[in-house]
Structure 1
Amino acid sequence: MAWWMFYLIASGLLVLVGLLVILPVLFSRNALQRDALTNTQIVRQRLEELEREASEGLISEYDKRQASDELKLALVDEYRESSSQPGKARLPLFLGALFAVAAGVGVYYQVNQLSMVERAQEAMQALPRLSTHLANGGGDSFTQKDITDLSLAIRERLRHAPDDAQGWMMLGRLWMAMGQQQQAIQSLEKALAISPDDLSFRLTYAQLLMGTGEESQLRRAQSIVAELLTQNPQNDNLALIMAVASAQLGDLEQTEQYFAQVKDKLPEDSEMRLGLVARIAELKEQSNGGSDDADIPGETGFTIQVILSDELQSRLPENGFLIVFAQDALSDNRMPAAVVKMPLVGFPITINLSAANAMLPSYSLDSLKEARLVARISSDENVTAQPGDLQGELNSAVKSGELLPTSIVISEELK
């Protein structure tokens, strides 16, 4: 419904309510005036009759004057009473009109949610700035207000244009910046359903799948990138992503093939290059019958024993999740460098958190010097902290090529 049409209907309803309040009062006043006029005519007629009866000797002059005075007094009293009626009606009239206006404003506010409309308009105005910032990789510096505004603006945009593939892409990137992988993947899948041949959509989708660390998703990502490489075989960015995905899957042949394509174009001290070199060495050692233990040279991360304090044993959700992740302890970047999620199975529990659990190939534990390690129990898989979550954390130095043993005690309930 257009705004002008809504205002027209609302104004019409207010006028109708006003008429329903005012018309009965006006009709009542007219009735009183008619009654007063009729009574005056009756009194005048009676006075004429008294004059005639006195002249005919039927009544004395004294009786005539007394009867005449009584009629006049009765008429005056009735006039005073009728004159006071409009004054008494003004208060109900005013209260009724006030109630009608207040009710109309209240209904309008409740139905239209003015504060939410204003909030949505502000978010839509901020959408170009925030979306550009997000597209340029600045999602890590978003405040909670920025995230809320951008989410609201994108959802408002998609509500009016559900086939807007770019809108779904932006929403996916936002979920990705918030660490909500499943929602990000679902948004990208909707974007791809609308524009299946868009290269940037497919590439972002593959990166999201790689960030899950799950073998099935990694293989899907590898398949997508392999298809893109058949169309763009000289694309070094695709070759690098293919090398990383293959390294995560333990595919030595593919890793070496695509790493060879980009090796000379990466700086020698590049964390990505060093990580791939270490992973290739690890895979070669495994193929030669080397150790398959978790603590293999070249793997950067932590072996974390997660312990739940006795005080919080009774606070465990029935169907919760354990989320263990690492962030950069030396910056304000809240993007997880590595994440492991699993259903609750019991405590204590030991978890390996390594570069293989990175959400993005370009940002992993190899990128950090000191990590903030967080173990959180939540009722869902959302990495974002929520009231009622149980949490423990500590800071630890990161040593490249080593899985460091440590332990985290979950002893705090978030408010």
Structure 2
Amino acid sequence: MTVFLILATMLVAGALLLVIPPMLGAGAKAREHAARQEQARTVLVVLREQLAELDAERAAGRIAEADYQRSRDEVEQRALAEGGTAEAGVDGAPARGWALGVVFAVPVLAVTVYMLLGTPAGLDPENLKPAPEAGHQITPEQMQAMVAQLAERLEREPDNVQGWMMLGRSYAVMQNFQGAVATWQKIGAQIPEQADILADWADLLAGAAGRKFEGDPDRLIVRALALDPNHVKALALSGTSAFRRGDYAQASAQWEKILASLQPGVEPYPSILASINEARTKGGLPLLSPPAGPQAAGMAGGGGAAEQGGAASTALTLRGRLSLAPELASKAGADDTIFVFARPAQGGMPIAALRIRAGELPVDFDFASAQRMSQGPLPAQIAIGARLSKGGSATASAGDLESQAVLAAPDAEGVSIVIDRVRK
């Protein structure tokens, strides 16, 4: 209450300081300035009207260009001259009576208005309670309206590359597959020939079809790879499409192209390697081994056993149960792919990874049969985490569902992992 009153008093005093001095000693200057301002406005009005008439005359062909320019100059000079003469005859008498009235009237009026329209009870500390935090997030309804407006705009601007990317990714985040399909059927034929856009919409349309790539998704992937043979997302989707139709050799080949562009110590190398070896296993092909040498030795997060706080057994037998939070159940499709990673507690390249179908949840997992991505002693503590890929790709992206990391020993049992958040 005290702070409010002090601030209110300061504001009133400040207002009076701005008003009273001109009324007491500088009234003449203030009125001179006001008169000049009024005259300036008059000049502008006159000038505008005269110029409008001249412009109309010239447009109608009733006045030559030379006459138009001469008349324009005369109008401007006459208006300026009239403005200059209006500065004479200014009254310089101070307004002391008004100043005295304002000094008393302003504080009284401020208090009266506050008592009538304000909240006097709010000055009492006993009545002050924290107000609930105002929501500033965009509501789902507002998001849907904005996406609909963007779709309508693309009907008029089909070559808007950024618009197509924003629209596709908005539909993906909102999981609005029905709206995406409707938009595609309406203006999809006009989609720009951009690999990023084609791959995003292939992913979106495949998701709308229950991760089935036959038809438009496969055609869009082919178009994207024709534009950019090394496009990572298009290669990932192409491999996923091949994997789903049972062409495991083709799936492995497409994913290996992605692997060739990555460093062994950089995410998402291990998840892609796990996908490749799953395809190779199903296709009866030899497994692809992780790189040997210093790079592979560093995949466990760097440092020797002593730096890890003591080495555990070289056998990774960690077991547990993976589940999905009920509030995210509607966001997961039965055929969505889940990657479960085991990595050093301090971060770094995963030690091993498992691949599971979302339709199997909840499910028990066991790293005893998982292929190691790095050799050597295991750290005493391992971080276990899971990610559900909405695009079926080993590359993490916005909209994926994921869990928090859980620390456990390499031979721990009964570890519980819950996928409970959406990746931003």
- How does the TM-score come out when normalised to structure 2? 0.35
Greater share of residues in helix: 1
- How does the TM-score come out when normalised to structure 1? 0.36
